[in-house]
Amino acid sequence: MLAEQFYNQVGKSRNTFLLFAALNLLILSGISFTFVIPGLRGFNLFFVVLTLLMYFIVANIFVDLFKDRVWFVFTICIILISLGMGWRLWLESGEVTLVEHMSLAVYIGYPSISAIILTIFYISSNSIGRKRSTCH
């Protein structure tokens, strides 16, 4: 019941939710990439949980906005996450705290893994939502 109400709200104001999801990915990826990579300085489990929660919310918004478009969702996610991360790296270029995070593995790995996680959330939410809609 709650999911149906949520998807109805997304359907009524699509542009608002699309803007929220895009800004969420841009800003969250810029902020969180220094806190969610295990083994690097700044890792914080609270930010990992917060980031996963926000990815789950964005994935559920994408379920109603982009029905059955998995590759489109993956592409949008990887682009927005890369832009957010690049924006933060550009703003703080030369900072000593980002030296550990300036490697090719982080540049490629963080956006790729984040987009894969978000796409998995999208696929699972889409399949669960579809099962519920056929049952009722």
Q: Is pTM beyond 0.95 here?
A: no
Whether 118 contacts 58, CB under 8 Å = yes
Expressed in angstroms, the distance from the first to the final Cα of the chain is 10
What confidence score (pLDDT) does residue 89 get?
84
pLDDT at 132: 59
Residue 136 in this model has a pLDDT that exceeds 60: no
- In angstroms, the CA 117 to CA 102 distance is 22
Average confidence (pLDDT) over 38-45? 86
For 75-126, what is each residue's pLDDT tens digit? 999 999 999 998 988 888 777 667 777 888 888 999 999 999 999 999 999 8
